[in-house]
Amino acid sequence: MQSLTTTSLRIRENQLWILDQQALPQRSDWRECRNVSELVDHIRTLRVRGAPLIGLSASLLLALLAEQGMSQDALLDSLETLRASRPTAVNLMNNLDRMKAALHQSDYVKALAEEALRLVEEDRALCDSIADHGAALVTHGSRLLTHCNTGGLATAGVGTAIGVIRRAHGLGNVQQVWVDETRPLLQGGRLTAWELGELGIPYQLICDSMAASLMAQKRVDAIWVGADRIAANGDVANKIGTYSLAVLAKYHGIPFYVAAPHTTHDPHCPNGSAIPIEQRAASEVTGVSGSFGAVQWAPDDAQVYNPAFDVTPAELISGWVLDVGVVTPVQVRDGILTQALK
């Protein structure tokens, strides 16, 4: 397979390398990913994260394993193992469905490589289109708030919500960005803050619980988030804490936008209650770990509830900013979301 470089993925000499997102921002560590078990571990430990990037990394690895001589049956088993690695983000499922179709071609080695690279290029184009559509909604002097990480680290391109912010900043319309630290894994504090700093976009980092006070002070003009799955009725699963922001935005009369590619839409999932929500390790809540080490602050026997995602009902969303355009609440109620993505 040809060489490839994105913010978080590389292919060099027929080998996949991933940027360890647990080590950022203190270190930029590139890890070799030689087999499915390694990639599953990277995904589950969030060294690889972001709904689009998870799907792309799985697709690229399958193509590389085919080129390295793995049998058709073994590739199919590997594909299903990867499918089970993260249950909530539907991009992984959509990408693997396309790779499975390629795997059934007569020259499946060539077909897998072509499909994996096509998925990367499509994601880049999808991100650009989302950024264009979203930037048109950002007014001059906007103070925007975002949650988790939705930039180039999580995609092959400029990102989803951060891609919108990046494009709007380039147009001179972003005054500053409020960055939720995003408990419990701090993807905002570690990753979004790092990305915005690299891009020269002014930001201030806040604890998640500070967002309400900023809204009450009228210091937030709009909220931009990404999505891991969009149900047929417009309900959105995203990083835990997103729902809280949507409720606060509704109370304070602040626009709440979801930016995502069409690959995040799941027409077979009727609503948010049908979206599987991943439960993660208690250690993520009882303490914190990263490139700096690990610290535990809770009692050893503390009981923990740690869902990775929550669901924001469609009625709290001001607009779904997709690569195909901006879908409004009225259109979603009329069923146009699903129609637009067919």
pLDDT (tens place) for every residue of the chain, 342 residues total: 778 999 999 999 889 999 999 999 999 999 999 999 999 999 999 999 998 999 999 999 999 999 999 999 999 999 999 999 988 878 899 999 999 999 999 999 999 999 999 999 999 999 999 999 999 999 999 999 999 999 999 999 999 999 999 999 999 999 999 999 999 989 999 999 999 999 999 999 999 999 999 999 999 999 999 999 999 999 999 999 999 999 999 999 999 999 999 889 999 999 999 999 999 999 999 998 777 778 899 999 999 999 999 999 999 999 999 999 999 998 888 776 766 565
Task: Determine the pLDDT at residue 335.
Answer: 77
CATH number of the domain to which 172 belongs: 3.40.50.10470
One domain for residues 336 and 251: yes
58 with 142, same domain: the answer is no
Q: Residue 95 maps to which CATH number?
A: 1.20.120.420
Ramachandran quadrant class, 200 (left: phi over 0; alpha: psi -120 to 50; beta: rest): left
Q: What is the pLDDT of residue 340?
A: 59
Identify the domain boundary among 77, 110, 127.
Answer: 127
Q: Are residues 109 and 153 in the same domain?
A: no
Buried b vs exposed e over 129-152: b needs ≥16 C-beta within 10 Å? Answer: bbbebbbebbeeebbbbbbbbbbb
Nearest to 262 by CA among 156, 161, 126: 126
Range of the domain at 169: 134-340
Peptide bond into 307 cis (omega under 30): no
State the sign of the Cα–Cα–Cα–Cα dihedral 12, 16, 21, 26.
negative
Say if residue 140 is in the same domain as residue 87. Answer: no
Same domain, 182 and 81: no
For tokens 């699903």, name the residue. Answer: 338
Query: Is the separation of the CB atoms in 249 and 255 below 8 Å?
Result: yes
Shortest CA distance to 25 belongs to which of 189, 149, 145? 189
User: How many angstroms separate the CA atoms of 213 and 220, rounded?
Assistant: 10
141 three-class SS: coil
Q: Are residues 13 and 108 in the same domain?
A: yes
Q: Are residues 76 and 15 in the same domain?
A: yes
Among 127, 153, 170, identify where a domain stops.
127
CB 329 within 8 A of CB 314: yes
Q: Where does a domain end: 74, 103, 127?
A: 127
User: In angstroms, what CA-CA distances link 312 with 138, 322, 328?
Assistant: 22, 17, 15
pTM of whole model > 0.85?
yes
Residue 313: the pLDDT is: 97
Domain count, the chain: 2
Write out the E strands in the chain.
4-5, 9-12, 15-19, 30-33, 142-146, 174-180, 203-206, 222-225, 229-231, 236-239, 256-259, 265-266, 287-290, 293-296, 309-312, 319-322, 325-327
Write out the two tokens for 66: 């085919």
Residue showing tokens 């669901």: 311
Do residues 242 and 172 share a domain? yes
Active site residue 97: no
* Active-site position among 123, 180, 208, 228: 228
Give per-residue pLDDT as tens, 94-149. 999 999 999 999 999 999 999 999 999 999 999 999 999 999 999 999 999 999 99
Which helix (H) or strand (E) segment is 65 a member of?
helix 51-67
Picking from 304, 306, 311, the residue whose alpha carbon sits closest to that of residue 280 is 306
Tell me what pLDDT residue 338 has.
Answer: 66
Are 123 and 160 contained in the same domain?
Answer: no
Is the peptide bond prior to 184 cis by the omega test (within 30 degrees of 0)? yes
Same domain, 140 and 82: no
The number of beta carbons lying within 10 Å of the beta carbon of residue 236 is 29
Task: Specify whether 255 is located in the same domain as 148.
Answer: yes
**pLDDT, position 87:** 84
pLDDT at site 293: 78
Residues 104 and 162 in one domain: no
Sequence-distant (≥ 6) Cβ neighbours of residue 166 within 8 angstroms: 131, 151, 158, 159, 199, 201
Contact 4, 120 (CB under 8 A): yes
Identify the three-state secondary structure at position 93: helix
What does the alpha-carbon distance between residue 89 and residue 303 come to, in Å, rounded to a whole number? 26
